[in-house]
Structure 1
C-alpha cells in the first residue's frame, strides 16, 4: 500500500476529529468509543492510533483545533491593557458570548466540554485544562477590578475575588442554559443586559 501524502494524512486526521466532535456532541464522551469514531469517519482504529495516542489525545486535539471563547476573550483583554477597566470587563464577557453564539465549531466543542464530558479517565486532562483556563481568566478579571478600585470607578468595599466569581457564574450560567435551548433567548443581547446590570451595581454612585 502506498504511503499517504501529507495532505491525505491531514485530511484523514480532520475527518477523525470531525467524527469525534459529532459523536461526542450526540452521545457524550464516555459513551463514544474509538471504534464508534472510526466507523463514523470511515477509517480503521489503527488509523486513529496513527494520529492520536488515545481518546484523551483526540480530545485535546479537538480543543486545540477550535477557536475557544475563553482564549479569544483573554487575548482581547491582554491587548487592551491600559483601557477603561470596567469597559474591558464587559467586553471580556461579551467576547465569550459572541464567539459562543457565532462560531458553530467553537459552540459544539464548548458544549462537549461543559455538558457532554463526564468525569472519566479520558477527560481528566481536559477538565484540568479547563479549570486552569478558568483560574487564569479570573485572575485577569481580578486585576482589572483592582485597577478600577485604584481609579475610584467601583466601590472600595468590593472583594475582587468575589466579584470575579460572580462574573464567571453569570457567564457560565448564561451559556449553559442557552446550550440546552438556543431558541430560549438571544445569548448576546440578554448577556449584555445582564452584565450591564451586574456591573452597574459595582460602580460608585
Structure 2
C-alpha cells in the first residue's frame, strides 16, 4: 500500500511538471501562477505545495528533469580519472544539439529558457537561481577543459575559465538562434560540424594564458 502511495506521489509530481512545462511555454514564466499550473495539472495548489516550495522550485525541477539524461556523461567529462575528457565532452555536446532538434519536450524547455523566462519581481529568486546555474555550468566546463589539458588533448597554456565562458556563450547563442526559427536548418544534421567548430576554437591563441 505504501509503495502504491509513493508511486502515486511520483505520478502527481510528474503531472505537475508536465503541466508547468506547457503553461510556462504558453504564457511565459512571469505570467504563470501556481494556480495556473494546478488547473492545467488537474490538482489543487495544496498538491503543488506538497512537492514544491514555490514557482521557482517548480521551474528548477522542470529544468533538472530535462538535463538528467545527460548527467552521467557530464560527470564523466569532469572526472580526473576519465582517459578521454575531450571526446566525452564532444559526445555530450553533440547529443545536446541532437536532442534539442529531435525531442519536443527538450526543445520546449529550451525555448522557455531562451525566450519565456522573464526576470521580474514576481518571479522571486529566479534570476539569482539562473545566475547560480550559469556559474555552475561555467565551472563544470572549465573542469572538463582542465582534465583535457592534463591529458594532453588541449594546449597546456589554455585559459580554461575564459574558454569555458566562450563555449557556454557559443552554445547558448547557437540554441537561441535555432529555436527562433527551427525550420531554417537541420540542427541535428549539423550538430557534429557545429561542435567541431567549437572544439577548434579551443586551439585559438586568443584563449591562451597571458
TM-score range, shorter chain: 0.7 to 0.9
| C-alpha deviation, 1:22, in angstroms | 0.3
Structure 1 unmatched ranges of 5 or more: none
Match of 2:127 among 124, 127, 130: 124
| C-alpha deviation, 1:86, in angstroms | 4.6
Once the two structures are superposed, what CA deviation does each residue of 1:67-99 show, in whole Å capped at 9, x if it has no partner?
A: 35763551342468112x554443342132233
Instruction: Tell me if the contact between 2:100 and 2:107 (Cα under 8 Å) persists in the aligned partners.
Output: yes
Cα 1:61–1:70, aligned 2, differ >3 Å: closer, same or farther? Answer: same
| C-alpha deviation, 1:52, in angstroms | 2.1
Match of 2:146 in 1: 143
Q: CA RMSD in A?
A: 3.1
1:60-75 to 2 correspondence within 5 Å?
A: 60-68=60-68, 71=71, 73-75=73-75
Cα 1:78–1:46, aligned 2, differ >3 Å: closer, same or farther? Answer: same
| C-alpha deviation, 1:32, in angstroms | 0.3
DSSP 3-state at the match of 1:99: helix
Instruction: Tell me if the contact between 1:76 and 1:92 (Cα under 8 Å) persists in the aligned partners.
Output: no
Match of 2:54 in 1: 54
Structure 2 unmatched ranges of 5 or more: 205-210
Instruction: Tell me if the contact between 1:24 and 1:116 (Cα under 8 Å) persists in the aligned partners.
Output: yes
Mean CA deviation greater in 95-104 or 53-62: 95-104
Partners of 1:40 and 1:96 lie apart in 2 by: 29
Instruction: Tell me if the contact between 2:13 and 2:51 (Cα under 8 Å) persists in the aligned partners.
Output: yes
Task: Tell me the TM-score normalised to structure 1 length.
Answer: 0.76
Task: Tell me the TM-score normalised to structure 2 length.
Answer: 0.75
